[in-house]
Amino acid sequence: MHDDRTLVEARLKRVLEERIRPAVYPESVPLQVAVWHAPGEPVPVAEGLAAAPEPIEVGARWGAPWGTSWFRVTGTVPEKWAGRTVEALLDLGFDENMPGFQCEGLVYRPDGTPVKGLNPRNQWVRIGAPVAGGEEVRLHIEAASNPVILDYHPFLPTQLGDKETAGSEPQYTLTRMDLAVFDETVWQLVLDLEVLGELMAELPVDSARRWDILRAVDRALDAVDLQDVNGTADRARQQLTGVLSAPAVPSAHRISAVGHAHIDSAWLWPLRETVRKVARTTSNMTALIEDEPEFVFAMSQAQQWAWVKEHRPEVWARVKKAVAEGRFVPAGGMWVESDTNMPGSEAMARQFVHGKRFFLDEFGVENEEAWLPDTFGFAAGLPQIIKAAGSKWLLTQKISWSQTNKFPHHTFQWEGIDGTRIFTHFPPVDTYNCSMKGSEIAHAARNFKDKGRARHSLAPTGWGDGGGGTTREMVAKAARLRDLEGSATVEWETPRAFFEKAEAEYPEPPVWVGELYLELHRATLTSQAKTKQGNRRSEHLLREAELWAATAAVRTGFPYPYEELDRIWKTVLLHQFHDILPGSSIAWVHREARATYDRIAGELTAIIEGAQRALAGEGGTELVFNAAPHPRHGVPAGGAAVPAVTGGTTLTAREDGGFTLDNGLLRIEVDARGLVVSAYDIAAGRETVAPGRAANLLQLHPDFPNMWDAWDVDEFYRNTVTDLTDAESVLPGDDGASVRVVRAFGGSRVTQVLSLGADERRLVIDTEVDWHETEKFLKLAFPLDLHAERYASETQFGHFHRPTHTNTSWEAAKFEACNHRFVHLEEPGWGVAVVNDSTYGHDVTRTVRSDGDLGTTTTVRVSLLRAPRFPDPETDQGVHRFRHALVPGAGIGDAVREGWRVNLPERRLTGAHEVAPLVTMDDDAVVVTAVKLADDGSGDVVVRFHEAHGGRARATLTAGFEVAEATVTDLLERPLATAAAPERDGDRIAVRLRPFELVTLRLRRA
C-alpha cells in the first residue's frame, strides 16, 4: 500500500480548522452592547447592575489597566431558531493562548444571580436547549481589564504591575457579542477528530492502531460535505464509532483526572483580583458539575473558599451544594498553597491548622492530602508537619521543572528529618494545567517512572495559574479516553480516591530522604527583601503575642485575644503564598504586603504591651521580658526578671588602622577597610577567619538570569564578582563597644555597625543598605578556617544537613539554598554559626588553600539583596536593614539559641514584680515553639515543642499553674489516639523525644 499518512494528517488539520470547527456555530445574530466603566476599584454587584451604561460597538477599545467595566448585552432569539440550542458568544478581546492571564468576566442575570465566568477558553453562555424562539436575552458582565504582564516576549520590564503606574490606555478590543445556534453534533465531531488525531500522533508510525485510526479519519472526512458540514456531521461521526469504541489494553496506564484550576492567590494580579478570579472559576465549575454527571472538581486553599463565602454568597450556596454531593472537593488542608522553604515552624504548622479547621467547620471534611502542585521546593521538615496535622499524602508537580537532575520517582515515600514518611506523588503528566491533549496523556504514560510496580497517576485537569478551571471540551475528551485502545485510561476521581488506589497497589514504594530541592527559582529566597522581613517579624511577634497573652490570661485574667490572633495568623499565612513570600509577584502585591506587615506589627505590639503591663503591674523595677525559648542574662525563657549584671567590652585602635573589640570571650580585629580579619575564640585558642581572608565582606555580582528574573539566579552569576573593600569611614560606634563602617558603590550606600556585647560569644553585624542597583546580587561573605564536609541549615522543627562539596550534579545544583535563623558548620569539638534576623538565601563553598597552609577555607555567604526588573521593575529599591551575627565556637545548641535570640530581642518594661514563666523546659535541646491558649476557647494551655539538636532528649516540662490533665494532641489540638498519656507528677510532665520529634501538649487547668 502506498504511504499516504502525511496527506491524510494534513487533510485532517485543514478541514477541522477551516470547515468543521467554524460550523459549531452555523448561524448568529449580533447582540446590543452597552458599558459602564467603574471609576475606581471594583464595586458591589448591585451597584454595577444599577449603573447607567453607554452604547459600545464591537471593535471598540475598552478597559484601562486593572479597571472594571460592566457590560450589558441584550437581544432577541430569532423565531426561526425554535427547537435549537442557542448560546451567547461573548468575546471581550481574548487571546485563546492566555487563559488566566488576560481580561476575564463574570456573567450575571439581571437579578444579580451569577451564571458563569468568561475567559479566553470559555466564551459561551447557554441561553436555551432548546429555545422556543422570541426569548428576550439580557445579561450583565462584570469584566476585569487585567493587563497582560507575562507576554509573548516574557520578562520585559513593565509598569503595568501596579495600578499607580499602569496608566489609563485601553487594553482590549471588544471582539464578538452574538447570539448563535450551537450545533452539538458538529461539536462532538470536533472532539472525536481531536482525540483521534492527537492519539494518532503519539502512536508509533508502524503500529496497526495508528493506521486503523488514519483510515477511519479518512473515511469520516470523505463523509463530510464541506458545503453542508452541519447536515453531514452525524454521517461522519458514524465512520469513527469503531475506532472510538476499541477498548484499552489491560496493561494501559491509568490516570485519575481531577478537575482543577490552580489559582495563584496573588501573582501577576493583586489579592483583590484573586477574590474575583475565584468567584468566576467556582461559578464555572459548579455549572459544569450540573451538566456533567461524572465530573469531579477539587479546589485547595481554604483562604480562597473563605473569599467566596465572604464576597459571593450566591456562588457559595452553589459550592456548598456541590460539596454535599461529593463533586466539589476541598483539597490540601492548607490555608494557602504556601511556600514551604521559608515559613517558620509554627507558621508551617498553622497553614494546616487553619486550612483543615476551615474545611472541618464548613463541611465536616477531613483532608488527608497536602496539595501543593506549584510550590518552589519542599523543606525537609515538612513530612512531620503533614503527619502531625492528621494528613498522610502529598501531591506536587513542580519538581519536574528542575533544570539539572531528573527526579527518579513519581510515587514514593518522602522521609523528613525526624524519620516521618509521607506517601508522595508527582503527576507524570508534568503539568498542573492538563487539558486532556493526547500529547499530555501519552507523556504521562511514557514518563511514569514506576512502571512495572504501579500503574496509577493523577492529572490535575483545567486551566490554571490565573484560574478558569476545567472546560466542557476537556470533559468530553476525558469521556472518549475512558477506555480507548492506544491510550492511557482516564477516569474522574477525587484526590482521596486516587491516593487510596495508588497506595494499595504500591505498598513498598522507594524512599527519598531529605528536602525536595527545586533546581530552579533559587532567587526566590532573596527577592523582595521587605516582604521576607515582614514575614519573619510577623512570625516572631505572633509568638510573643500568644506567649504573653496566654501567660497574662492564666495569671491575671487578661482577656485572651482569640479573634484578633486568628485574623492576624490568617493574614500572615495568606502572605506566605508561593508568589508573595518568594517575591515573584507584581509591584502592587508587594506594596500592599509591606503596608499589611506594618499594620500587623502595630496590632501585635499592642497585644504584647497590654499583656506585659498586666503581668508586670505598676512599679519602678526595670524588667526584661524574654520571649525566646532559652534563658539569657539571668532572665528565664518565657518570663521577666531583672537581668544579671554583665562585664564589659573594650575598643582599642589598631596600629595599621581599624579597631579591636575584646570582651574576654572573643577578640575581633576590624581593619582599616572595615573588614573582620580576625575573630579569635579566646577560650578555645582558635581563629575563626581563614588566613589571609576577611569576613564581613560585601560582594556584588551581576544578576541577569536567562529567564524568570525575580525567580532565578543562574550559576554563571559567580563568574564575575566585585569585592566591596573601599570604605568611606571606619569609626568607633556611639556606645564604645562597636565599630561603624560606611561604604559607597554604584548608586548605593552601606552603613554597618559591628558590635560585641558584654559576656556574648557573638559578633553582631547591623547592615543598612540604601540600594539603587539594577540586576545586581549583593552577598555578605564569611570565609572560615574550618574543614567540614557538610553544614546544617535550620528548617521547620529542626535542621537539615547539606554537603559543602560538589561531588555529584545533585550537590552542585544546590548553589543557592534556604536556611531559617542559622547555618552551622563544625569540626569535632568546635564550630561556627552565622545567624540572621530576616534573610533566607545563602551559599556555602569550600576550597583547599595552596599558599603553604594546606587548611580548608569554608565560606558562608548570606544573600542580602537582588534587583530584578520583572515582574516588579523597582524591586527592592530603597533602604533595607539586616542583622546578622557571627558566633565562633558554636555547637549546634549555640546556633539554635543564638538564632532565636537575634529574632526575639528583649523587651524592657518597668513594673512591680518579676514574671515567672507559664511553662519551663529543663533541657535546652527541647525548644518550645508555641505557648498559647487552646483555639476552642476552653482556657486550656497548649504547648508545642521539639527536639532541636538532632539527638534523643529526656526533659521535664514544668507548668507554672495547677494541671488537671495533660494530653498529647495533633496540631489541631485534638487528642492523638496513637500517643500514650504523658507521665505526670503534679505539674511536672516527663518528656522523651526522638531526634527532631515534634510534640503538641494540651494542659487542662485545675
Closest CA to 576 of 372, 793, 815: 372
Burial (0-12, 13-18, 19+ Cβ within 10 Å), 52: exposed
374 in catalytic set: yes
How many Cβ atoms from other residues are within 10 Å of residue 247's Cβ? Answer: 11
Whether 257 contacts 461, CB under 8 Å: yes
User: What is the largest distance, in Å, between two alpha-carbon atoms of the chain?
Assistant: 103
Residues in Cβ contact with 160 at an 8 Å cutoff, skipping those fewer than 6 apart: 65, 147, 148, 149, 166
How far apart are alpha carbons 806 and 844 in whole angstroms?
Answer: 11
Whether 43 contacts 37, CB under 8 Å: no
How far apart are alpha carbons 372 and 813 in whole angstroms?
Answer: 22
Residues in Cβ contact with 694 at an 8 Å cutoff, skipping those fewer than 6 apart: 671, 673, 675, 676, 677, 725, 783
How many Cβ atoms from other residues are within 10 Å of residue 735's Cβ? Answer: 11
User: Cell numbers at residue 473, please?
Assistant: 471540551
Closest CA to 520 of 439, 401, 405: 401
Beta strands (DSSP E) in 260-344 are: 297-299, 328-330
How far apart are alpha carbons 553 and 939 in whole angstroms?
Answer: 9
How far apart are alpha carbons 135 and 113 in whole angstroms?
Answer: 19
How far apart are alpha carbons 391 and 414 in whole angstroms?
Answer: 13
Peptide bond into 130 cis (omega under 30): yes
The alpha-carbon radius of gyration of the chain (Å, integer) is 31
How far apart are alpha carbons 592 and 161 in whole angstroms?
Answer: 12
Degrees to nearest 5, angle at CA 567 with 563 and 572: 145
- The neighbouring-strand residues paired with 911 are 621
Whether 548 contacts 540, CB under 8 Å: no
The catalytic position among 212, 339, 374, 579 is 374
User: Cell numbers at residue 858, please?
Assistant: 569554608
Whether 147 contacts 66, CB under 8 Å: yes
Alpha helices in 872-982 (DSSP H): 892-903
Scored b (16 or more CB within 10 A) or e, 773-785 reads bbebbbbbbbbbb
**How does strand 817-818 pair with strand 738-745?**
unpaired
Burial (0-12, 13-18, 19+ Cβ within 10 Å), 73: buried
* 95 to 22, 99, 270, 271, 279: CA distances (angstroms): 17, 8, 21, 23, 21
Peptide bond into 871 cis (omega under 30): yes
Whether 542 contacts 323, CB under 8 Å: no
Task: Give residue 155's region: left, alpha or beta (phi > 0; psi -120 to 50).
Answer: left
Q: What is the DSSP letter of 742?
A: E
Beta strands (DSSP E) in 219-354 are: 254-259, 297-299, 328-330
**How does strand 104-108 pair with strand 114-118?**
antiparallel
Whether 387 contacts 966, CB under 8 Å: no
User: Which positions are annotated as active-site residues?
Assistant: 374
